[in-house]
A and B are shown apart, each in its own frame.
Chain A
Amino acid sequence: MALPELHLEKTADRNLRIVLTGEWTLANSLPSAQALEAVFSAGPEITRADFEASGLTGWDSGLLTFLISVMELCARRNVAVIRDGLPSGVNRLLALATAVPERQGARRGGAHVSFLERIGSAAIDLWRSLLEMVAFIGEAFTSLVRLLTGKARFRPSDLILTLQECSVDALPIVSLISLLVGLILAFIGAIQLKLFGAQIYVADLVGIGMVRAMGAIMTGIIMAGRTGAAFAARIGTMQVNEEIDALKTTGVSPTDFLVLPRILALSIMMPLLTIYADLMGIFGGFIVGVFGLDLSVAEYYQETIKAVGLTNVWIGLFSGFVYGILVAIAGCMRGMQCGRSASAVGDATTSAVVTSIVSIVVATAVITVLCNIMGI
């Protein structure tokens, strides 16, 4: 197989003959159109170029791109290109490639963005995303009002499915994590308390720790990773497929239809899951207390009951409720804000989890400070 070769010959009347021989396919490395540049700038002025392609044995897109470069180069130099010498198939394909002229203003320049400009646009983006967040929360709230006045429309079966997804389906992972957290708290506490012979207070430590804070926080984080991410991915994919637009044109508010059931489901189920997590955590502490510290079952039970007041339970439940709303809002919001590509869905999911966890931590801090101020 002959390798592709390019010869440039100056013929009469300021004419440049471009001689193409060999196999002009992408599989071979093709000569570059830059060679013409050298001829144009070197010799006397050239006003036309033609082709001689009788030695051409084969060609594909590689030849076409070469010819397009040649034509662009000649256009810049005001050199007329006579394409008669080319195979007719090549000419017809070139004609097709130029049949639809480039649309005016369509091309995007890779404009250079200065550092300051980038900071500026980042700041504007941040401000816009804050506004969007507020708008979303507002919309979710009006949707809730519509629900209370009986005007919100969503499918009850959707709510039931979501309820199941964020309750029963989450039990195994919540059990495991809470039990382990209870065990860990008990072990760490036991080492210190043993020094004073005060092992019995492990029950207090685990009980109060789990019920007042850890139960709710751990459940919140699990739900952020599990359910919040799923909400974002699901709604984000619907956004990509224009399903959300279809809902809007059907006259259904996407917030009513998609967001409301999810917020409801999580805010109902999170307190229940929190109670369950509390119990599992206490059970973890109990295992350490009874088998590791030789406390009796009755002793441990009594001590836990005594330590964990109803106030702590309420605080824990309230926290769980708040986290549930936060996780649901973060998940749905990121899903609704999702762009129209596969990677945008990935970004939405990541950002849903990050937003959920950050807001859980902030909410915990706020609740703790408030409880402190109120003295409970």
Chain B
Amino acid sequence: MAKEPHIIVQDLTMAYGSYVLQRDLTFTVNHGDVFIIMGGSGCGKSTLMRHLIGLKAPAKGAVFYGDVNFWGAEPVERDRMMRHFGVMYQSGALWSSLTLAENVALSLELYTTLKPAQIREIASLKLSLVGLAGFEDYYPSEISGGMKKRVGIARAMALDPEILFFDEPSAGLDPVSARLLDDLILELKESLGTTVVVVTHELASIFAIGNNSVFIDAAEKTMIATGHPKRLLEECAHPTVRNFLTRGEARAEVKAGERPTPCFLA
């Protein structure tokens, strides 16, 4: 498959007011990639995702989808593009007064002309893909935390979007469910050609599914690595990245006053 750029992030600076979170982020997500956004807690991964999905405008820089400048486009055009995204939020963000099936079905009702029975079938299918067959008529307050995560994933997949954004999908899942989720992500990429952007800390999952990644660092306030996670593990010498990818086993240290070279693998 020829690598065609899907999302291009260029010189992105993210800030809350005058507080700059990250600067000079530049990376490309290709069609059919499973792209991992990683980094320590609080470094701005969720914020980066908010920039990619149209919830927060960049302080500087640009995000391109294909060759369209996402934040430079008219709001109407942006809304149209956002319809091709499926987003799963870190905290679930399920609509608490709708049942699980209705949560999944809402976008189908709004954006397709399918019959209610068909919509219901699709909602059931999506729920069974995340292992929640039979829970269609439950309310979000009646299911467990990990189940909420999975409903969020099912809801993101409702319209078979071109790009899926998952914010920590496997946090709070048991190893078996997490593994099934990895299989699902790989399968969506293989069969439907979906591009998947995943924010995650799960090392097992990073190596199992990711074929490209960006590592952003809170201390340096910028990205310090990109590339295939497995190659990063082998080739990257940056102490922060090494520690992260080996769960601290590497015991690499950043020496005071020194700025280790970032590793941007092509």
Contact = CB atoms under 8 A, between A and B. Distances in A.
Interface in B98-126: 112, 114, 118, 121-122, 124-126
Contacts of A61: 122, 125-126, 157, 160
A106 B135 contact: yes
A92 B191 contact: yes
Given A102-B134, A108-B137, A343-B96, A92 B187 contact: yes
Interface stretch (B70-78, B138-146, B231-239): B138-146
- Report which residue of A30, A60, A64, A339 has the largest number of chain B beta carbons within 10 angstroms of its beta carbon: A64
Given A103-B134, A342-B96, A97 B129 contact: yes
- Report which residue of A61, A102, A106, A344 has the largest number of chain B beta carbons within 10 angstroms of its beta carbon: A61
A41 interface: no
A107 B134 contact: yes
Contacts of A27: 112
B18 interface: no
Contacts of A100: 128, 131-133, 177, 180
A93 B183 CA distance: 9
Contacts, number: 88
B23 to A, nearest CB: 34
In the complex, which range does the number of interface residues on chain B fall in?
20 to 34
Interface residues of A, number: 35
A68 B121 contact: yes
Nearest to B139: A341
A86 B150 CA distance: 27
A348 B196 CA distance: 40
A65 B122 CA distance: 6
- Report which residue of B126, B134, B184 has the largest number of chain A beta carbons within 10 angstroms of its beta carbon: B134
9 contacts: A68-B121, A69-B121, A93-B187, A93-B191, A97-B128, A99-B131, A100-B133, A107-B135, A340-B140
Interface of B: 95-97, 112, 114, 118, 121-122, 124-126, 128-129, 131-141, 157, 160, 177, 180, 183-184, 187, 190-192
